[in-house]
Amino acid sequence: MESIKVALLGTGVAGGGTFRVLARNQEEITRRAGRGIEISVVGARDPERARTVVGGKVRIESDLLLAATDPAVEIVVELIGGQERARELVLAAIAAGKHVVTANKALLANHGNEIFAAAQAQGVMVAFEAAVAGGIPIIKALREGLSGNRIEWIAGIINGTSNFILSEMREKGLPFAAALAAAKDRGYAEADPSFDIEGIDAAHKLSILSAIAFGIPMQFQKVYTEGITGLTAQDLRYAEELGYRIKLLGIARRNPAGIEMRVHPTLIPKRRLIANVEGVMNAVLVSGDAVGATLYYGAGAGAEPTASAVVADLVDVTRLHTADPENRVPHLAFQPDSLAATPILPMSEVETSYYLRLKVADQPGVLADITRILADRSISIEAFLQKEPNAGDAQVDIVLLTHKTQEKNVDAAIASIEALATVLGQATRIRLEALS
């Protein structure tokens, strides 16, 4: 059977990795897909650079729109990144009847509803395994492997840069700025790392996972997002003393009032496997009503881990591209006309436990005042840690772990606590999840 023809848009890290993996594993891929998968045209803004990646046998087109709408092509792989240009190219490819494979989480988080509706109308597929957690097949697991379950919650380390920084801070006692510099030195952080360290990248990915898990539209703008820039090595050390690790987690949870979608630093018990995921690795924990908790671990970025997911999507599309569109796996796991309008909870309504660190005057009655404020707002204390003051120092750190309560109760309590004359500076608040 004749090979299926593919247009590859972008020959950067992900595009180059995809080309190499396809070439190296062509025989195995053909055996799996039932026919060859051939990159017949490459769209690249810098053809000379692209030639060094793909060699002399593949046609290179500097006009990416021409590559995306080439009549001979059946699948378009979008790996250029960004949003507006990628959106234009993906929608043009769909309008031309092409299936699309993309690793672009920002594109899908912000424009996925439009893109999936266009693909549905045209009877083509949009595959995006590489958009979340690199080489970990979490999209397929949620969309197909766990389709017999009612998904209860998801908790994931889905940004390797932030996880590396937190690992460096915990293991070496580095301040945030030094750990970020180490991430840049190793090529794990961009020159402008804000998407990673402010939690935006993780929020893009969480919005995709939540849509598939709960059968809701993409709603990136409703994800509560908090990064790691305010964390200190001191807090990581105190968490360790209390039996916890701090990770930047993406959390999505179903509860009777709606769905939680939040990205923020989180204390996790050290005994949990996900708490021991270090460096740039990713891990996603999914809890289903039938299967219980399942953990997916692996490389979340990099040329060939990303290529692994892209090529897997190419194989899936090749297998199914002649199938009746009504009988394909829906883009977001649930049938398009069955997506739910379940409300997304505001952060103030979310219920979880908390780590609170306070710097207070070293004098009698301080703790009593703080515990009274917490009790007035029905916040109970699970654990307490008081550090010895340095010689001659008139202030001391106290750390409290609370039982579960609503965020709005903690907001009110912190405001009252910070107003006490004996509390020096602002309270540090980090959320805590048992993940049990």
Q: Name the pTM for this structure.
A: 0.96
pLDDT at 199: 98
Domain final residue, candidates 298, 322, 355: 298
Q: Note whether 170 and 85 are same-domain residues.
A: no
Q: Among all chains, which residue has been given the structure tokens 């709408």?
A: 69
Note the pLDDT tens digit of each residue in 126-177. 999 999 999 999 999 999 999 999 999 999 999 999 999 999 999 999 999 9
Q: Note whether 291 and 149 are same-domain residues.
A: yes
Per the prediction, the chain carries an average pLDDT of 96
Using alpha carbons, list the distances in angstroms from residue 137 to 129, 286, 330, 433.
7, 13, 17, 24
Q: Note whether 329 and 367 are same-domain residues.
A: no
**Which of 98, 105, 205, 247 is flagged as catalytic?**
205
Note the pLDDT tens digit of each residue in 287-317. 999 999 999 999 998 999 999 999 999 999 9
Catalytic site residue 359? Answer: no
CATH number of the CATH domain containing 362: 3.30.70.260
Q: Note whether 96 and 153 are same-domain residues.
A: no
pLDDT at 327: 83
Average pLDDT over residues 44-72: 95
In this structure, what token pair is assigned to residue 101?
A: 């494979």
Q: Note whether 10 and 31 are same-domain residues.
A: yes
Q: Of 174, 182, 178, give the one whose Cα is nearest residue 234.
A: 174
Q: Note whether 71 and 102 are same-domain residues.
A: yes
Longest dimension (CA), the chain: 83
Q: Note whether 156 and 106 are same-domain residues.
A: no
Note the pLDDT tens digit of each residue in 218-254. 999 999 999 999 999 999 999 999 999 999 999 999 9
Q: Note whether 376 and 358 are same-domain residues.
A: yes
Q: Note whether 43 and 64 are same-domain residues.
A: yes
CATH number of the CATH domain containing 49: 3.40.50.720
Q: Note whether 231 and 155 are same-domain residues.
A: yes
Range of the domain at 72: 4-135+303-338
* pLDDT surpassing 90 at residue 324: no
Q: Note whether 260 and 334 are same-domain residues.
A: no
* pLDDT surpassing 80 at residue 389: no
Domain final residue, candidates 270, 298, 326: 298
Q: Note whether 98 and 168 are same-domain residues.
A: no
Cα 350 to Cα 355: distance, rounded to the nearest angstrom: 15
Count of domains in the chain? Answer: 3
Average pLDDT over residues 3-28: 96
